[in-house]
Amino acid sequence: MPTARSSKRQIPAVEFTLWLEFELWQPMPEIGAEINVFDPEDDFCNISITLATGERYALNVWTYNFLTRAHQGDSVTGENLGGEYLLPPDLFVARLDRQLFQEVIADLIRRGGLRPEWRAGFTDEPPRHSPNGTHEHEPAEHDHQRKERA
């Protein structure tokens, strides 16, 4: 749900399409209720941005609240030196919703803020395989069974 602040922003029109992993999320009763919840203000997702030129970008995005939860989880599990550090995602946002992502991505494009390391090729290029076996310019499957959720 857009906030009053976000609904008043005037972002110039920029042509791009978005694939948002959380829009495909489906509950999985077999994994348990405690990790089977999508909270748009306390979660993470992968996104894919395709510009009008066909250039494609892929990002891992966390909410600010999920950052806190991931840090607290490491403090409990002892990972990352007991929470002394945490490798960041590509982008932090207040919440996971399409309207906000449209505004954020339009602003990043307008300011030249799409980072080269996010570039995942062009839509007409054949997939390049990454070391983990996934295609570099195809978003990974959603995995709500990650350690951060346990």
Domain spans of the chain, in order of start: 14-149
Confidence at residue 35, expressed as pLDDT on a 0 to 100 scale: 64
Query: Whole-angstrom Cα distance, residue 43 to residue 61?
Result: 9
**108-117 long-range CB contacts below 8 Å, 24 or more apart?**
109/14, 109/16, 109/51, 110/11, 110/12, 110/14, 114/49, 114/57, 115/90
Confidence at residue 111, expressed as pLDDT on a 0 to 100 scale: 96
Confidence at residue 123, expressed as pLDDT on a 0 to 100 scale: 76
Query: Whole-angstrom Cα distance, residue 65 to residue 96?
Result: 11
Query: Whole-angstrom Cα distance, residue 38 to residue 136?
Result: 25
Q: pLDDT per position in the chain (150 positions), as tens?
A: 444 455 556 655 779 999 999 999 877 777 665 666 789 999 999 999 999 999 999 999 999 999 999 999 999 999 999 999 999 999 999 999 999 999 999 999 999 999 999 999 887 765 554 444 444 444 443 343 333 443
**30-36 long-range CB contacts below 8 Å, 24 or more apart?**
31/144, 31/145, 35/144, 35/145, 35/149, 35/150, 36/144
Integer angstrom CA distances of residue 7 from 18, 42, 49, 116, 121: 19, 21, 22, 29, 32
Residue position matching structure tokens 């066909």: 54
Query: Whole-angstrom Cα distance, residue 106 to residue 109?
Result: 5
